[in-house]
């Protein structure tokens, strides 16, 4: 009878069993590279997915913003058209009632005091305000380029016996000087970086009117007139500072030497810039500051 040790002898084709520590070492070493590769692939896939998601999110956000912007533009466009149509109706109402002269008691003038109109889905509360530009002083009048309505601010004859162009211009220069004085135009110093006049000196009221005349008239000479105390600077200044033509818009007055944006903001409610609208002023709609500059006594 064979012994027990002979019964468990391995067959010739079988590999002898390995020790436990060898099996553990192999199982710990061989899959390590595989797990490292799997980890790298996992990180790569996650990073790629993150990039794709972020790209989709960015595109969706851009599309949402573009859609919102388009919606806002369409709403604003229709709001503007509606306001213009309402303004036309308000301006036509007095004519239908036989009123020919504009005054501040008409519907078009009172609409500015009306409460704003909240509109569902619209950002902001639109308001309508109509301003009569004929109640303001025309800046172009200082150089005789404000139209053919005459020198008198209320129409008709010029405010001098002869009505000559120089005397008419001087009248408007004095009116504008009075307005500038009331707006606080005094000789002052600009910050060095602005370089708006020679030596960066802000002009006092009379000189500011004279420089405005230099900017508008067609010659390259400095304004000088014994009947008006202001002195121009065109002859001694950089010629690119002077356009030698009438102002086309009120904002263009900021290009006149000495006229800073802060100064322009002070006088903007009381002046206009028209090359063809005439110099006649409607005192029914003129602000108090305009009436005082024209010589009306204070109440």
Indicate which CATH number applies to the domain containing 221. Answer: 1.10.40.60
What per-residue confidence (pLDDT) applies to 148? 47
Confidence band for 157, pLDDT divided at 50, 70 and 90: very low
What whole-number distance in Å separates Cα of residue 238 and Cα of residue 198? 9
Q: Indicate whether 18 belongs to any domain.
A: no
Strands 137-138 and 271-272: parallel
225 pLDDT higher than 70? yes
CB-based contacts of 157, cutoff 8 Å, min separation 6: 150, 151, 163
Handedness of CA 243, 247, 248, 250 (dihedral sign): positive
Taking residues 165-186, what's their average pLDDT? 89
What whole-number distance in Å separates Cα of residue 95 and Cα of residue 78? 27
What whole-number distance in Å separates Cα of residue 100 and Cα of residue 69? 43
Where in the sequence is the domain holding 67, given as residue range(s)?
A: 37-130
Q: Which two tokens stand for residue 149?
A: 């309505």
Confidence band for 12, pLDDT divided at 50, 70 and 90: low
Residues 87 and 146 grouped into a single domain: no
Beta bridge partners, 202, equal 188
Choose one of 77, 99, 130: the last residue of a domain.
Answer: 130
Beta bridge partners, 228, equal 225
Q: Which two tokens stand for residue 183?
A: 């707006």
What whole-number distance in Å separates Cα of residue 145 and Cα of residue 216? 8
Number of domains in the chain: 2
Residues 45 and 103 grouped into a single domain: yes
Residues 89 and 158 grouped into a single domain: no
Residues 216 and 68 grouped into a single domain: no
Confidence band for 134, pLDDT divided at 50, 70 and 90: very high
Q: What share of the chain is helix, strand, coil (3-state, %, to 5)?
A: 55, 5, 45
Beta bridge partners, 189, equal 201
Which of 258, 253, 252 has the alpha carbon at shortest distance from 233? 258
Residues 73 and 118 grouped into a single domain: yes
Q: Indicate whether 265 belongs to any domain.
A: yes
- Most confident of the following: 55-59, 117-121, 217-221, 236-240: 217-221
What per-residue confidence (pLDDT) applies to 179? 97
What whole-number distance in Å separates Cα of residue 38 and Cα of residue 184? 79
76 pLDDT higher than 60? yes
Taking residues 265-293, what's their average pLDDT? 91
Residues 90 and 144 grouped into a single domain: no
Q: Indicate whether 25 belongs to any domain.
A: no
């Amino acid at each position: 009878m064979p012994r027990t040790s002979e019964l468990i002898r391995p067959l010739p084709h079988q590999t002898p069993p390995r020790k436990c520590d060898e099996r553990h070492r192999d199982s710990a070493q061989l899959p390590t590279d595989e797990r490292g590769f799997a980890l790298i692939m996992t990180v790569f896939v996650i990073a790629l997915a993150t990039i794709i998601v972020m790209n989709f999110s960015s595109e969706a956000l851009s599309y949402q913003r573009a859609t919102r912007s388009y919606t806002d533009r369409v709403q604003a466009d229709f709001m503007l058209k509606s306001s213009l149509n309402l303004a036309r109706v308000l301006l036509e109402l007095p004519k239908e009632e036989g009123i020919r002269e504009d005054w501040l008691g008409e519907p078009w003038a009172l609409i500015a005091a009306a409460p704003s109109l909240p509109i569902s889905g619209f950002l902001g509360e639109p308001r309508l305000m109509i301003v009569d530009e004929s109640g303001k002083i025309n800046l172009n009048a200082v150089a005789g380029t404000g139209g053919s309505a005459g020198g008198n601010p209320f129409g008709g004859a010029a405010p001098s016996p002869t009505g000559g162009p120089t005397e008419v211009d001087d009248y408007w220069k004095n009116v504008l000087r009075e307005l500038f004085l009331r707006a606080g135009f005094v000789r002052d110093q600009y910050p060095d970086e602005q370089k708006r006049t020679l030596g960066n000196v802000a002009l006092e009221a009379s000189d500011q009117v004279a420089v405005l005349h230099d900017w508008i008239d067609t010659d390259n000479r400095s304004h000088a007139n014994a009947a008006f105390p202001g002195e121009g600077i065109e002859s001694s200044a950089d010629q690119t500072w002077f356009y030698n033509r009438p102002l086309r818009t009120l904002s263009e007055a900021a290009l006149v030497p000495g006229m800073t944006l802060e100064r322009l903001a002070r006088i903007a409610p009381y002046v206009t810039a028209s090359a063809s609208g005439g110099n006649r002023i409607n005192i029914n709609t003129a602000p108090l500051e305009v009436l005082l500059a024209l010589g009306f006594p204070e109440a």
